[in-house]
Structure 1
Amino acid sequence: MFTGLVEEVGTLQAVNKRGEAMVLRIRALKVMKDVQIGDSIAVNGVCLTATALEGQSFLADVMPQTFRHTTLKDLAPGDPVNLERAMLANGRFGGHIVQGHVDGVAIITNRTPDANAIRFEFRPVDGTIEAKYLIPRGSITIDGISLTLTRADEDGFAVSIIPHTLQETALAHKHPGDSVNIECDVLGKYVEHLLRYGKGESNQAQPRSSISKSFLEENGFL
Structure 2
Amino acid sequence: MFTGLVEEVGTVGGRQDTGGTGVLRIDATTVTEELRVGDSVAVAGVCLTVTGHDARGFTADVVPETLARTTLGRLASGTRVNLERAVQAGGRLGGHIVQGHVDGVATVAARAPGARWDDVDLDLPGPLARYVAEKGSVAVEGVSLTVALVDGARFGVSLIPSTLAATTLDSLAVGDPVNVEVDVVAKYVERLVTA
Q: Normalising by structure 1, what TM-score? A: 0.85
Q: Do 2:29 and 2:55's aligned partners in 1 also have CA atoms closer than 8 Å?
A: no
Cα distance between partner residues in 2 of 1:80 and 1:134: 26
1:45 aligns with 2:45: yes
Which residue identity does 2:115 align to in structure 1? A
1:94 aligns with 2:94: yes
> Tell me, what secondary structure is at the counterpart of 1:31?
coil
Cα distance between partner residues in 2 of 1:180 and 1:20: 21
> Tell me, what secondary structure is at the counterpart of 2:31?
helix
Cα distance between partner residues in 2 of 1:100 and 1:135: 19
Cα distance between partner residues in 2 of 1:50 and 1:131: 32
Cα distance between partner residues in 1 of 2:83 and 2:160: 19
Q: Which aligned pairs between 1:151-190 and structure 2 lie closer than 5 A?
A: 151-190=149-188
Paired position in structure 2 for 1:14: 14
Which residue identity does 1:37 align to in structure 2? V
Q: Do 1:110 and 1:122's aligned partners in 2 also have CA atoms closer than 8 Å?
A: yes
> Tell me, what secondary structure is at the counterpart of 1:109?
strand
Segment drifting more, 96-105 vs 167-176: 167-176
Q: Which aligned pairs between 1:65-144 and structure 2 lie closer than 5 A?
A: 65-125=65-125, 127=126, 129-144=127-142
Segment drifting more, 15-24 vs 173-182: 15-24
Q: What does the per-residue CA deviation read over 1:55-113, in whole Å, with 9 as the maximum and x for residues that have no partner?
A: 31100011000010100011000000000000011211100000001111001111111
Tell me which structure has the larger Cα radius of gyration. 1
Cα distance between partner residues in 1 of 2:108 and 2:159: 14
> Tell me, what secondary structure is at the counterpart of 1:53?
strand
- Which protein, 1 or 2, shows the higher relative CO under an 8 Å CA cutoff with sep ≥ 6? 2
Paired position in structure 1 for 2:148: 150
Paired position in structure 1 for 2:26: 26
Q: What does the per-residue CA deviation read over 1:178-220, in whole Å, with 9 as the maximum and x for residues that have no partner?
A: 11000001111011112222xxxxxxxxxxxxxxxxxxxxxxx
State the aligned residue count. Answer: 195
> Tell me, what secondary structure is at the counterpart of 1:167?
helix
Displaced runs of 4 or more, over 2 A = none
Q: Do 1:131 and 1:153's aligned partners in 2 also have CA atoms closer than 8 Å?
A: no
RMSD: 1.1
